[in-house]
């Protein structure tokens, strides 16, 4: 972009010039009938240079601040939140298939997240729990990738031989890409039969699907004091009811979730008196949203 063009862009129009000289020459090189004093000449040159520099700055700002056009061909422009995780080693589908194909505890431990922490619960799950009855399921990918601050995940639905389904997440963090077993097993720290008959007073880690409800009765009969939520879990035939004190910080936390549809949470809960026999518990803590630990 030459100086003449920039001056026109900035509105520096000139009138007709004797001798047919162009505007740039007339303003920078032509002599007037009365010579300019040095300080006037310096002031004039400085003003013109300021205009030129200003035009250049405006061009740079406009050029680099404008959104880049989407790439074409084999490259696709996508927002960062939609980009699939950058996996290392085996792809998530292969990790999930290897986990489902494993037939021994030792083989399964190769493909799960935090194997030392989940080894005992996984052994019980496949020896005495649902895993002993469930045949190998078919795998269906549900998302291209989910990114959080600490973890990238890919989600699958596993349809078992009896038609039921389990959620399987392959996570990628500093430990590598592995199956989150607690999520797959819908792990709960206490068995439901002991919670329902009151053998245990509460549980520190339960994975439930929760939605607001309006069932107020017995120890939780006052809707002005309690907020009711209903909850289901894979091993429950019927829902249970959870209650949160309306004047508690926990209630303020719950209000931050939209609940436009049932939501998965990992929670803590405890009974009030014999409330468990009526399938009622007080919700004492939201550990985290979802069934995969951050």
What pLDDT was estimated at residue 281? Answer: 98
- Over the chain, what is the mean pLDDT? 78
For residue 61, pLDDT beyond 50 = no
Mean of the pLDDT values across residues 28-54? 50
Burial call 7-33: b when 16+ CB within 10 Å, e when fewer:
beeeeeeeeeeeeeeebbebbeeeeee
* Residue 85, CB-side half-sphere exposure with 13 Å CA sphere: 25
- Which residue in 265, 185, 204, 189 sits closest to 229, CA to CA? 265
- For 79-120, write each residue's pLDDT tens digit: 334 444 455 678 889 999 999 999 999 999 999 999 999 999
What pLDDT was estimated at residue 238? Answer: 95
Residues in the chain, overall count:
294
Question: In terms of DSSP bridges, do strands 165-173 and 202-212 run parallel, antiparallel, or are they unpaired?
Answer: unpaired
What pLDDT was estimated at residue 134? Answer: 85
Eight-state DSSP code of residue 217: B
Q: What percent of the chain is modeled with pLDDT above 70?
A: 67
What pLDDT was estimated at residue 81? Answer: 41
The residue among 260 and 79 whose pLDDT is bigger is: 260
Which segments of the chain does DSSP mark as H helices, in order?
3-9, 23-28, 38-65, 92-101, 105-109, 115-127, 181-184, 192-196, 249-254
Burial call 216-237: b when 16+ CB within 10 Å, e when fewer:
beeebeeeeebbbbbbeeeeee
**Exposed, middle or buried by CB within 10 Å (0-12, 13-18, 19+), for 171?**
buried
The residue among 271 and 149 whose pLDDT is bigger is: 271
Neighbours of 119 (CB within 10 A): 16
For residue 193, pLDDT beyond 60 = yes
Q: What percent of the chain is modeled with pLDDT above 90?
A: 55
C-alpha distances in Å from residue 133, one per residue of 5, 125, 128: 80, 10, 9
What pLDDT was estimated at residue 137? Answer: 81
Instruction: Let me know: does 11 contact 23? Beta carbons within 8 Å.
Output: no
What pLDDT was estimated at residue 293? Answer: 87
What is the rounded distance in angstroms from the CA atom of residue 4 to the CA atom of residue 52?
10
For residue 46, pLDDT beyond 90 = no
- For 209-228, write each residue's pLDDT tens digit: 999 999 999 999 999 999 99
What pLDDT was estimated at residue 251? Answer: 97
Among the residue ranges 30-34, 61-65, 230-234, the one predicted with the least confidence is 30-34
All domains in the chain, ordered by first residue: 3-65 (no CATH), 92-184 (3.10.450.50), 192-289 (2.40.50)
- For 132-188, write each residue's pLDDT tens digit: 888 888 999 986 666 655 568 899 999 998 888 999 999 987 767 899 999 999 999
Sign for the CA dihedral angle at 115, 118, 123, 129 comes to negative
């Amino acid at each position: 972009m030459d100086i003449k063009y920039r001056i026109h862009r900035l509105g520096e129009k000139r009138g007709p010039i004797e001798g047919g000289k162009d505007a740039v020459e007339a303003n920078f090189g032509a002599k007037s009938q009365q010579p300019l004093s040095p300080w006037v000449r310096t002031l004039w040159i400085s003003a013109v240079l300021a205009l030129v520099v200003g035009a250049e700055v405006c061009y740079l700002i406009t050029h680099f601040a404008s959104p880049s056009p989407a790439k074409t061909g084999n490259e696709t422009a996508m927002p960062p939140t939609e980009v699939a995780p950058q996996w290392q080693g085996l792809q998530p589908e292969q990790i999930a298939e290897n986990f489902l194909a494993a037939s021994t505890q030792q083989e399964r431990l190769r493909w799960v997240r935090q194997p030392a922490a989940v080894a005992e619960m996984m052994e019980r799950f496949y020896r005495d729990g649902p895993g002993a009855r469930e045949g190998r399921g078919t795998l269906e990918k549900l998302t291209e990738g989910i990114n959080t601050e600490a973890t990238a995940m890919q989600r699958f639905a596993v349809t078992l031989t009896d038609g039921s389904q389990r959620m399987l997440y392959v996570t990628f963090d500093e430990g590598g890409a592995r199956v989150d077993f607690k999520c797959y097993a819908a792990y709960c720290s206490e068995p439901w039969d002991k919670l329902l008959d009151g053998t245990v007073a509460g549980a520190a880690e339960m994975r439930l699907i929760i939605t607001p409800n309006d069932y107020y009765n017995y120890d939780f009969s006052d809707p002005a004091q309690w907020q009711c939520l209903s909850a289901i879990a894979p091993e429950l035939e019927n829902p249970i009811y959870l209650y949160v004190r309306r004047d508690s910080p926990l209630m303020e936390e719950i209000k931050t979730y939209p609940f436009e549809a049932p939501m998965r949470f990992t929670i803590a809960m405890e009974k009030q008196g014999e409330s468990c026999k009526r399938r009622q518990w007080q919700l004492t803590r939201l550990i985290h949203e979802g069934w995969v630990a951050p």
